[in-house]
C-alpha cells in the first residue's frame, strides 16, 4: 500500500543517491546502492512523518516502472499511516478518535507518532473505531 518507487543515481564522488519521485522531501545516499537502499526506509519514514505532523494527505505512491526499485515503511509505521489516512478520508479528528476509543488525547497523539512503539492491540482498536479492519498477509 505504501510501496514507493525510487530512483538511484551515482553522485560525482561515487556514492549512490536515492530519491523518491512521489515524496520530494525524502532522499538519502550511501557508499553504494545497497547501503543507500538500507537508508531509504528511514528517509521515507522521516518525510512521511512530516505529512502526519502537518496534517496533510499522504502522497500516493505511483506505479513503479519495470525493474524500478521500491521502498516501503516498516509494518508498524505502515499501520499508523493507514490510520492517519483513514482519519483524513473520513474527516475524523484526533479528539473524535479519542472519544470513540475512550482514550485521552495524548494516547492518540502517541498512536500517530511514527517513532512511538504503539502496541498492536491499540492499533487494532483504532482501526476498528474508524470502521475498518486489519487484514494481515505475508507475501512470498
Mean pLDDT by 10 residues, the chain (140 residues): 93 93 96 94 97 95 95 96 96 98 98 96 97 88
Q: Which alpha helices (DSSP H) does the chain contain, by range?
A: 33-54, 75-90, 94-101, 105-112, 120-129
Whether 39 and 81 map to the same domain: the answer is no
Whether 10 and 47 map to the same domain: the answer is yes
Domain that holds residue 13: 4-71
pLDDT at 133: 93
pLDDT at 92: 97
pLDDT at 136: 86
**All three cell numbers of 37:** 537502499
Domain final residue, candidates 55, 71, 87: 71
40, part of any domain: yes
pLDDT at 138: 84
56, part of any domain: yes
Whether 13 and 34 map to the same domain: the answer is yes
pLDDT at 137: 85
Whether 9 and 66 map to the same domain: the answer is yes
134, part of any domain: no
Whether 50 and 86 map to the same domain: the answer is no
Whether 79 and 34 map to the same domain: the answer is no
User: What CATH code is carried by the domain that includes residue 55?
Assistant: 3.30.160.250
136, part of any domain: no
Q: Contact at 8 Å (CB) between 22 and 47?
A: no
pTM of the full structure: 0.91
DSSP 4: E
104: three-class secondary structure by DSSP: coil
pLDDT at 113: 97
Count of structural domains, the chain: 2
pLDDT at 139: 80
Amino acid at each position: 500500500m505504501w510501496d514507493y518507487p525510487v530512483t538511484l543515481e551515482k553522485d560525482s564522488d561515487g556514492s549512490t543517491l536515492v530519491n523518491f519521485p512521489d515524496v520530494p522531501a525524502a532522499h538519502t545516499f550511501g557508499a553504494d546502492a545497497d547501503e543507500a537502499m538500507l537508508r531509504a526506509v528511514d528517509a521515507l519514514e522521516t518525510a512521511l512523518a512530516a505529512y502526519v505532523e502537518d496534517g496533510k494527505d499522504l502522497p500516493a505512491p505511483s506505479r513503479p516502472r519495470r525493474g524500478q526499485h521500491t521502498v516501503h515503511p516498516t509494518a508498524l509505521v505502515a499501520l499508523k499511516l493507514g490510520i492517519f489516512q483513514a482519519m483524513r478520508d473520513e474527516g475524523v479528528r484526533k479528539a473524535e478518535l479519542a472519544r470513540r476509543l475512550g482514550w485521552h488525547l495524548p494516547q492518540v497523539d502517541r498512536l500517530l507518532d511514527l517513532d512511538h512503539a504503539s502496541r498492536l492491540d491499540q492499533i487494532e482498536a483504532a482501526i476498528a473505531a474508524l470502521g475498518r479492519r486489519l487484514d494481515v498477509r505475508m507475501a512470498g
